[in-house]
Structure formats: structure tokens, C-alpha cells
Amino acid sequence: MSSFDESDAFEGASLSARAMAARPMPYLDDLNPEQRAAVEALEGPVLMLAGAGTGKTKALTTRIVHLLNTGTARPNEILAVTFTNKAAREMKMRVGRTLGEAIEGMPWLGTFHSICVKLLRRHAELVDLKSNFTILDTDDQIRLLKQLIRAAGIDDKRWPARALAGVIDNWKNRAWTPDNVPAGEAGAFDGKGVALYKQYQIRLRELNAVDFGDLLLHMVTIFQSHEDILAQYQRWFRYILVDEYQDTNVAQYLWLRLLAGGHKNICCVGDDDQSIYGWRGAEVGNILRFEKDFPGATVIRLEQNYRSTPHILAAAGGVIAGNKGRLGKELWTEAPEGEKVRLIGHWDGEEEARWIGEEIEAMQRGTRGMRAFGLDDMAILVRASHQMRAFEDRFLTIGLPYRVIGGPRFYERMEIRDAMAYFRLVVSPSDDLAFERIVNTPKRGLGDKAQQTIQRIARENGVSLLDGAALAVEQGAIKGKGAAALGKLVVDLSRWGRMTGDADLSHMELAEIILDESGYTEMWQNDKTPEAPGRLENLKELVKALEQFENLGGFLEHVSLIMDNESEEQGEKVSIMTLHAAKGLEFPAVFLPGWEDGLFPSQRSMDESGLKGVEEERRLAYVGITRAEEICTISFAGNRRVYGQWQSQMPSRFIDELPEEHVEVLTPPDLYGGGYGAAGGMGQSGLEQMAAEANVYNSPGWRRMQSRAGERPLSQPRESKSSVIDAQAISSHTMGERVFHQKFGYGAVIGIEGDKLEIDFEKAGVKKVVARFVTGADDVPF
DNA sequence: CAGTCCTTGCCGGCC
DNA sequence: GCAAGGACTG
């Protein structure tokens, strides 16, 4: 921005900035006026409302650079919080690059959780923990809760541990300790939620463990009850920056407000339209109330978009306009018009995957006057991870290289978690959860009964499970071959524990010894399932990953917080990921499949949160569309397999919200007598029908007409053309009617639920089936 | 106690 | 369609 000269740069700049004016600030020239204002308003509260693709990360990192470069703050005086490790890494990298590698690290740039771990280790004793506490992941958490539920004599089938975990997480996100849970929540989990929460916290304390929610909750508790400690950190962290502020939950919000309470030098960046984590406690309200909490705050809007074409922005804007209570931003761009957003409907989910696969190959070559795109330039963004399968299957078939982002993470794999349980037990022998995990892995002949004995002895003596096991062996309480194996395990573990102090032995070698001598490696070597080699490979990788750490303990700490797929494999590949994982990313060409009501917007979200749920789904749609730079392709299918059953789908309500003038409707391949499965079965009238449907996809009234016409599926299933299934039979079934199903045979209708029937089959028993696949028994043509 | 069959419930994303 | 968990059997 050459229109800004030096004197402009000093407007509103701090004294210290003036003092450092001698230093060049070339980085400021890269910014537009709004970004520059956000960077230079160093003192006092600042709220940066930054739309998608408006250079928010740039503004944020430049702000850090400016703080450092002007000498306003030293690296360790800046607290910069992000949500993901990826964002933290990126920010670190960009600060370093702009500054010319000069920073000696930013110790307080990281995720909420990683920063809280650091703080909590220093003050653990204030919440009755030791500073070497372990951090439970979701798996451990569920197992622990299950034990508590069973111990309370509650049927854990009707009241699953997962549900309780959800309730407790929710409370923690709102910064409610067991004593603070409001009376209105008392009914949670069959009225026993609060009591179980209390027990859970006691148990965590006994285990010297915390869960993710505790990291923040404990710190908020400490800050609230120890003014001196809070004051110390308020002085220490002189400047606070927060990324993705719209995603903060109440606990995070309180934490920030406490820390910023003195100087109020807090800069929050967010976009209320991209708030997509309400389900995990994020409060858009935090961004909406910023000006109330920090009176006199500078509010800066970044609205110039540097990412997408006008058509894409207009389509996204049209969708998000349906939400109420927005802060309101209007994105604009100087980019050339480009392609309209492309919309296409398909017969079913498999065909959608097939078409996208082909389209990707075509776009690689350059098609329809578009430029050629590399595979790295293209991404498929799905609503739910199970949608990925169809694409993986298809891409494997046609040999199209792809990468799944955010799939099953390395550290969540069974073999890795097992191996880490061994490491944990070696480092901290009282880690009961780790003990439970590996005591019979590999098989040592220690089943339920033996484990109960160990539990009992440990409890009676008030010792850890491992010590309890040692006692059990001494007392001869465990019989048979299990006794010897258990004895060996106990001895081995203490031996490995002593070896951690051995200076001649690297922790990598120790890790290998543990995995070998415990028989764990051998277990997988003897396993003949196809996954076994991959698991051994992963174990090798695990040992390799240890290299970057000083000892096993340091590694375990890292792993509990860094759960993302680090392995950035090389090579040109199409990316497949969820919409949630895509936030913050951008691609020249984006595919958005599965825009069908129930899938997107997700039924679950609507059931749980009603209109609020739909609005959050709409923001997710907005995030999806705004990931695209040049080409955005939205698609839906008329039929989709859900839980292995075919279901007819209605196009998403969001499709109706796309402004017509920015959308181009593509023709489904079937219209050309398509070479696949259609097998010439489609007659002329079928073609006309599909063509007619294709032409009205873009009419905003189309969906409404469809719904008025009843629950008519987008198109009849292909099977109706050639098989015994009579499409006309959809309409009416009556209770008690005798019907025929191709797979299950004859049966009687015992329930009707929309388009699904409950049928008591003579051979197959009671099943729920889609009405379309059932005919009246008399209609069977053989 | 481990392996196999069968039933059941489920598929929302992250630190 | 799949994985987890229970019942049953060797």
C-alpha cells in the first residue's frame, strides 16, 4: 500500500513504536488499510472481524512481527492462542519468515490446551495434582466413565458412557465444576449426571490425571482462587492474541478475560459466519459481546477477499444471508468473474463418486475451457467422515492418488496406543489405565477373573494396580499359567523403569526393548491378518518419532496434545476431508458432495439444536464454498445407502439458497445414455424426466414444489427398471399386509414409518426396510 | 480362557 | 456395512 507514507504509520502507534522507528517495517507495505490498522493498533482491546480469505492470518502474524520489531514486546511476553496445532505451527513459521528467522522461539504461542498444560504443570498442587499428571484421551475417559457407571449399578447399555462423557465435557466447556452445575441440569443422565461427574473428578485426582476439559477448567479455577498467581501472569503476558475467536467456549473465554483483565491488550480475530463448533461448546456470543466486555475496543472489519471469484463469494453470501443475528460483513474482491458455482445431481452416492473421479481427471487435463488443475489443487469436502469411503473406494479403483486429512490419526491407532500404554507404565508405574490396557495384551492368560482379583487386591491395599498385581502374585491369588506371566510382567516393568536412568541406553533403544521383551512385537508378527504388517510398520515409525525427544516422558507429553496427522506425504494427490477439517484451508477447485437434507444439513444437528443447528450447518456450507478459489462444484444424490440400506434423499435446503444467477447446473451423465449401470434401461420418457428435473434444480421454488408433492424421491431407483420391484408399490402399504421382499422373502407389515416399513419376515424375522423395495405379495411375477 | 458366531447400534467434528 | 460386545463352545 504505497499510498501510506511514514507519517500515516505513526498514527495511533505507541510510544515504544516511535522509539523504534529507525527499524525498517517493510512488512507493513504488504497490507491493505484495514489490515494495517489492525496491525498498528497495538494497545488496548482490538476485535478483528475477518471474513473468509481476507488475510486474517497475515494480519495476525504481522501484528506479532510488529510487536517484536518495534520493541513493544519480547517474544516471551506475547501470548498467542490458536485452536489447532497446525495453525500454531503456521503462525510460528510465518512470524519467523517475516522477521528473518530472528526470533528465539515464542514459548507462549500454541493451542489453548498446550499452553494450559504448561501452566498447570507449574501449579498442579493447587488443584491436588502432581505436576507429572497424565492427560487422558477420549478412549481412557470413556473406559473410566464406564467403570463408574457400572459401579453405580446403572445399566451401561441404556446409559452409555459416551453420553455421559458428552454431558461432562459440555459442563466443563461451560466452566462448571461439579459443585457449580446449575440446578436446571440435574436431570442429566437419568438424574445421576452430577453425582457421576463428582465421582469422575475424584477418580481423576486419584489417578493423577486430567482430561482435555480439565486443562482449562483447572486453570480457570486456579486463576479465580489465587489472585497473586493471576496477577503474575497478567504482568507476564503483556500482549494477548487470539485466533478463531468465534470458536472459544465459555471456559476459554473466562480464561482469556482473566488474563487480559489488567492491561486489556487483547486482540481477538474471528468470523461469526465461520463458527462451526457450537456442538463442542463454542459460543458465538463471545464474539458478539466483545465490545461490552472491553469497552472502547477498536473494531476492524476485513472484507476484501483475496481468495475466491465473485461468483463463489456471491454464492456463499447468498447462503449465509439466511442466518439471523450476524455481525454482518460484505466480502468483495477485485478478482475477475470466473466460473459460476457448478451444481449437479446424481442418481446415487456411488455415481456421484464416479462422476467426481472423472471430473477430477478431466480437470487435470483442462476441460471446458478451464485451465488444467494439479491434484494438489483439488479437494473434496464432506459433511461427515463416513462419506469419504465412497470416494476412497472409487479412487482406488481408478488409481487416482488421494490423501485423507484428519482420518484415523496415527496416535489413535490400536497398536500405537498399546505401545504407549507400555511406555506410560514404565514412566509412571501407577498409571492404572495403562496397566488395564496392556495387562493381557499380548495374551497372558489373564482374563476377567484374574483382572478382578488384581483390582480387589489393589483396592484393599490402597495401591496401584501394578503393585496390586505384584501382591497378587506373592500371595498366590492368581492361579495357573497367568500367575507366571503376570509375575514376569511385573518384574519386566520395574526393570525397564530402572533402565530409563541408564545413560548408555537411548530411549529409542529402550522403547524397542520394551516392545520386544513384552512380546508385543511378536504378537503382531504372529498375526496373520492383512493389517498386521502395517501395524508393525507403525510401531517402527513410533520408535523413529521418539528421536526428537529427550526421553520417553517428554514424548508422551507431546503426544497427548499433538493428535494431528503430521505425515505430510509427498506427491500430487487429491485431498479428501471433512468440512470442519477444511476450515482455514483453500484450494483452487473444491467439490462439495452430499448436499442432501438429513446429511447436510445433518439430521442430528437439527434434532439436537433445531434452528440453531440449521444455522450452524449453514455456516458450515459457507465455510465449504469459501474454501474454493476458482471452481466450486456442489452435488447431491437422489439415493444413498445409509446404514447399509438404500434411502431416497431430498436435495439440501441450502441448494435452494444458492442465488440462481451465480449457479450453473450441469447435466448428469445419465442423459447421454451413460455407459455405466444404466445398461440401456432408460427409455425416452426417462430421459425427458431426468432432463426436466435437471433443469429445475436451480429454481429456488423447486424444493418447495417437491415437498408439496409429498416425499417423492428425486428419481426412482434404477432397480425398478429391470427387477421385480414395482416402483408403483411405494405409495400405499397397510398394516398386516402380506408383502414380498427380494432378499428377505415373504412377511407381514407390522409398522409404517414414513417411507420405511417394519416387517415381520417369515424367514428373516423383524426388519425395517425401505418401502420401495417391497411389493404386495400378490404382485410377485413368479 | 480364547475363539467364533451373532446381535446390536451406529455415522460429528478437535485439543 | 461395520465394529463392538454378548453368548456360546472348544
pLDDT bracket for residue A683 (50, 70, 90): very low
User: What per-residue confidence (pLDDT) applies to A746?
Assistant: 65
User: What per-residue confidence (pLDDT) applies to A732?
Assistant: 62
pLDDT above 80 (res A676):
no
- A472: in domain: yes
The answer to the question of whether A57 is labelled as a binding residue is yes
Do A110 and A53 fall within a single domain? Answer: yes
Determine the average pLDDT of the residues in A691-718.
Answer: 37
| A643: phi then psi, degrees, rounded to nearest 5 | 50, 40
Q: Is A48 or A6 the better-scoring residue by pLDDT?
A: A48
Closest nucleotide to A644 by C1' from CA: C1
Least confident of A251-255, A331-335, A544-548, A627-631: A544-548
A439 CA → B7 C1’, Å: 28
- A112: in domain: yes
A431 CA → B14 C1’, Å: 25
Q: Give dist(CA A117, CA A113) in Å, integer.
A: 6
- A21: in domain: yes
| CA pseudo-torsion sign A76, A78, A79, A81 | negative
pLDDT above 90 (res A725):
no
A390 CA → B9 C1’, Å: 22
Question: Could you give the 3-state DSSP secondary structure of residue A108?
Answer: coil
Least confident of A128-137, A149-158, A267-276, A773-782: A773-782
Least confident of A90-94, A175-179, A741-745: A741-745
Cβ-contact A620, A581 below 8 angstroms: no
Do A33 and A58 fall within a single domain? Answer: yes
Domain boundary among A303, A334, A350: A303
The answer to whether A244 is a known catalytic residue is yes
A561 CA → C10 C1’, Å: 45
CATH number at residue A170: 1.10.10.160
User: What one-character-per-residue DSSP string does A340-355 give?
Assistant: PEEEEEEEEHHHHHHH
Cβ-contact A220, A255 below 8 angstroms: yes
The answer to whether A274 is a known catalytic residue is yes
User: What per-residue confidence (pLDDT) applies to A156?
Assistant: 76
Q: Is A547 or A657 the better-scoring residue by pLDDT?
A: A657
Determine the average pLDDT of the residues in A552-556.
Answer: 80
A140 CA → B11 C1’, Å: 21
Do A383 and A481 fall within a single domain? Answer: no
- A736: in domain: yes
User: What per-residue confidence (pLDDT) applies to A407?
Assistant: 65
Closest nucleotide to A414 by C1' from CA: C3
- Which nucleotides of strand B lie under 7 Å from a protein CB? 1-3, 9-15
The answer to whether A436 is a known catalytic residue is no
The one catalytic residue in A140, A169, A244, A617 is A244
User: What per-residue confidence (pLDDT) applies to A716?
Assistant: 34
- Which nucleotides of strand C lie under 7 Å from a protein CB? 1-2
CATH number at residue A547: 1.10.486.10
pLDDT above 90 (res A147):
no
pLDDT above 80 (res A2):
no
**Residue A759 identity:** I
pLDDT bracket for residue A682 (50, 70, 90): very low
Residues in Cβ contact with A58 at an 8 Å cutoff, skipping those fewer than 6 apart: A30, A31, A35, A94
pLDDT above 80 (res A8):
no
Nearest residue to nucleotide C6 when comparing alpha carbons to its C1'? A157
Closest nucleotide to A645 by C1' from CA: C1
CATH number at residue A755: 2.30.30.30
The torsion defined by the Cα of A268, A271, A277 and A282, in degrees rounded to 10, comes to 40
The answer to whether A627 is a known catalytic residue is yes
User: What per-residue confidence (pLDDT) applies to A64?
Assistant: 93
Determine the average pLDDT of the residues in A150-179.
Answer: 86
Give the CA distances from residue A4 to residues A29, A36, A113, in Å, rounded to whole numbers and listed in that order: 8, 10, 39
Determine the average pLDDT of the residues in A270-290.
Answer: 87
Do A430 and A509 fall within a single domain? Answer: yes
Closest nucleotide to A146 by C1' from CA: C5
Query: Model-level pTM?
Result: 0.78
The answer to whether A118 is a known catalytic residue is no
Q: In what order do the strands lie in the sheet with A774-776?
A: A765-770, A756-761, A745-753, A738-741, A774-776
The one catalytic residue in A34, A36, A56, A137 is A56
The answer to the question of whether A50 is labelled as a binding residue is yes
The answer to the question of whether A54 is labelled as a binding residue is yes
Q: Is A367 or A712 the better-scoring residue by pLDDT?
A: A367
Pull the grid cell for residue A247: 470458536
Residues in chain A: 782
Least confident of A82-91, A284-293, A385-394, A527-536: A527-536
Q: Give dist(CA A85, CA A736) in Å, integer.
A: 58
Of all residues in chain A, what percent carry a pLDDT higher than 90? 31
- A252: in domain: yes
pLDDT bracket for residue A122 (50, 70, 90): very high
Give the CA distances from residue A65 to residues A28, A68, A103, A382, in Å, rounded to whole numbers and listed in that order: 10, 5, 10, 36
Domain boundary among A561, A586, A614: A561
Do A77 and A117 fall within a single domain? Answer: yes
pLDDT bracket for residue A360 (50, 70, 90): very high
Do A635 and A607 fall within a single domain? Answer: yes
User: What per-residue confidence (pLDDT) applies to A54?
Assistant: 92
User: What per-residue confidence (pLDDT) applies to A250?
Assistant: 92
A729 CA → C1 C1’, Å: 26
Do A174 and A27 fall within a single domain? Answer: no
- A273: in domain: yes
Domain boundary among A708, A731, A751: A708
Determine the average pLDDT of the residues in A616-637.
Answer: 94
The one catalytic residue in A214, A243, A271, A436 is A243
Residues 630-669 on chain A lying near strand C, CB distance under 7 A: 641, 643-644
Mean of the per-residue pLDDT values for chain A?
80
- A407: in domain: no
pLDDT above 60 (res A1):
no
pLDDT above 90 (res A252):
yes
pLDDT above 50 (res A694):
no
Do A245 and A98 fall within a single domain? Answer: yes
**Residue A495 identity:** R
Q: Give dist(CA A641, CA A390) in Å, integer.
A: 10
The answer to the question of whether A521 is labelled as a binding residue is no
pLDDT above 70 (res A76):
yes
pLDDT bracket for residue A621 (50, 70, 90): very high
**pLDDT tens-digit map of A197-224:** 999 999 899 888 999 899 999 999 999 9
Cβ-contact A32, A304 below 8 angstroms: yes
Pull the grid cell for residue A600: 447436510
Q: Give dist(CA A475, CA A718) in Å, integer.
A: 69
CATH number at residue A63: 3.40.50.300
Of A63-72, A132-141, A151-160, A664-673, give the range with the top mean pLDDT.
A63-72
- A717: in domain: no
Q: Give dist(CA A489, CA A481) in Å, integer.
A: 13
Residues in Cβ contact with A623 at an 8 Å cutoff, skipping those fewer than 6 apart: A52, A274, A276, A579, A582, A583
User: What per-residue confidence (pLDDT) applies to A389?
Assistant: 86
Of all residues in chain A, what percent carry a pLDDT higher than 70? 81
Do A140 and A221 fall within a single domain? Answer: no
pLDDT bracket for residue A257 (50, 70, 90): very high
| Structural domain total, chain A | 5
A452 CA → B1 C1’, Å: 14
Do A82 and A28 fall within a single domain? Answer: yes
Least confident of A147-151, A415-419, A556-560, A667-671: A667-671
The torsion defined by the Cα of A134, A137, A143 and A144, in degrees rounded to 10, comes to 40
The answer to whether A544 is a known catalytic residue is no
pLDDT bracket for residue A708 (50, 70, 90): very low
Residues in Cβ contact with A212 at an 8 Å cutoff, skipping those fewer than 6 apart: A113, A135, A137
Nearest residue to nucleotide B8 when comparing alpha carbons to its C1'? A157
Do A443 and A498 fall within a single domain? Answer: yes
Secondary structure tally for chain A: helices H, strands E? 32, 21
Residues in Cβ contact with A95 at an 8 Å cutoff, skipping those fewer than 6 apart: A61, A64, A65, A68, A103, A106, A109
Cβ-contact A269, A55 below 8 angstroms: no
pLDDT above 60 (res A679):
no
Determine the average pLDDT of the residues in A284-313.
Answer: 90
Cβ-contact A769, A645 below 8 angstroms: yes
pLDDT bracket for residue A590 (50, 70, 90): very high
pLDDT bracket for residue A777 (50, 70, 90): low
Q: Give dist(CA A322, CA A657) in Å, integer.
A: 8
DSSP character for A249? B
pLDDT bracket for residue A564 (50, 70, 90): low
Structural domain range at position A166: 135-207
The answer to the question of whether A52 is labelled as a binding residue is yes
Do A248 and A295 fall within a single domain? Answer: yes
The answer to the question of whether A51 is labelled as a binding residue is yes
